[in-house]
Amino acid sequence: MATARDLMTKGAECVNSTETLVDAARKMRDLNVGALPICGEDQRLKGMLTDRDIVVKCIAEGKDPNSVRAGDLGEGKPVTIGADDSAEETLKTMAKHQVRRLPVIDGHQLVGIVAQADVARALPNDVVGHVLEEVSEK
């Protein structure tokens, strides 16, 4: 049976919780991604930061992205999946929490991210359609 490790994109880069949103945005641009995991000085996952977070929670509020830190936007405990959890559990977690990107951890170490595109590449179309429907319900 496939696991989260089989589905994930390896080598996810973090934005440090102390980096500014400008630094985070540049990293997103350079990596061609719309979201980055937020990691603390201890390299543990603290949350997720999306390009939408930068726009809605900083710029639209009139805050300065040169002074707001990535860690300022991390809210609550991040939703994650264990690397050896089944693909089925991964999909259920994405649907339950309505997340499009799911950090994959091994112990406390971030080892990758499962995104909707990873699911689409790896699983049958009917499964993908169901996951997209569940994640997108709001």
Using alpha carbons, select from 110, 85, 90 the residue that is nearest to residue 100. Answer: 90
pTM for this one? 0.81
Give, in degrees to the nearest 5, the angle at Cα 72 between 58 and 31. Answer: 75
For residues 41 and 87, the answer to whether their CB atoms sit within 8 Å is: no
133 pLDDT band, cuts 50/70/90, is low
How many Å is the maximal CA-CA distance in the chain? 48
Q: How far is the C-alpha of 32 from the C-alpha of 106, rounded, in Å?
A: 25
Q: How far is the C-alpha of 23 from the C-alpha of 69, rounded, in Å?
A: 9
Tell me which DSSP letter residue 58 carries: I
pLDDT digits (tens, 9 = 90+) for 55-73: 999 999 999 999 999 999 8
Q: How far is the C-alpha of 133 from the C-alpha of 112, rounded, in Å?
A: 23
Statement: residue 98 has pLDDT above 90: no
Using alpha carbons, select from 79, 71, 88 the residue that is nearest to residue 131. Answer: 88
**Domains and their CATH numbers in the chain:** 4-136 (3.10.580.10)
